Amino acid sequence: MARHTVQCPKCRTEIEIHRNPIPTVDIIIEIENAGIVLIKRKNPPHGWAIPGGFVDYGESLEEAAAREAKEETNLEVEDLRQFRAYSDPNRDPRFHTISMVFIAKAKGKPEARDDALHRVHSSRLDRLRPPKDPDGLLSVACPFEKEPRIDRPDRSVE
């Protein structure tokens, strides 16, 4: 990878610029007898997605996941567990991210907030084929279902 440097305007010392992936979290939230929570995104990339977002400086991954769930769905999550990490540099069309995906449960009715566009949807995975799921995240495994899910090539919402 090419080395990127800038020069200090005062002392002319060459300073190396590090480009690092941006840490993010995603959270699969199950509401008992209602299914998995999806949000309709207001900001790019548009479409249906599981709640998630950027980790703030000084915040743990777990804190970020719980905060994003609250900000986007107005749900307090419980039984928060790390599920899997994704790091494909092409995963997000805007920039290189590393996403830690969490699994959690919640009670209540989700409400669209923050980055969610007026709609929050919950569905059982056997009735849903999520659209923007480049990692096959929701079709690879549903942590709360008793039967394993089969990966589906068509990931559009029915």
Q: Which of 2-6, 63-67, 100-104, 119-123 has the lowest mean pLDDT?
A: 119-123
Residue 146 in tokens: 């008793």
How far is Cα 69 from Cα 27, in angstroms, rounded to an integer?
Answer: 7
Average pLDDT over residues 21-43: 87
142 inside domain: no
14 inside domain: no
Give how many domains the chain has, as a whole number: 1
How far is Cα 122 from Cα 88, in angstroms, rounded to an integer?
Answer: 27
88 inside domain: yes
Domain encompassing residue 53? 21-123
| More confident of the two residues 138 and 19 | 19
**Domain containing 97 — which CATH number?**
3.90.79.10
Average pLDDT over residues 70-85: 93
How far is Cα 111 from Cα 91, in angstroms, rounded to an integer?
Answer: 27
> Can you give the pTM of this predicted structure?
0.71
Q: What is the dihedral of CA 156, 122, 40, 126, to 10 degrees?
A: -10
How far is Cα 36 from Cα 157, in angstroms, rounded to an integer?
Answer: 13
pLDDT in tens, 83-125: 999 999 988 888 899 999 999 999 988 887 776 655 555 555 5
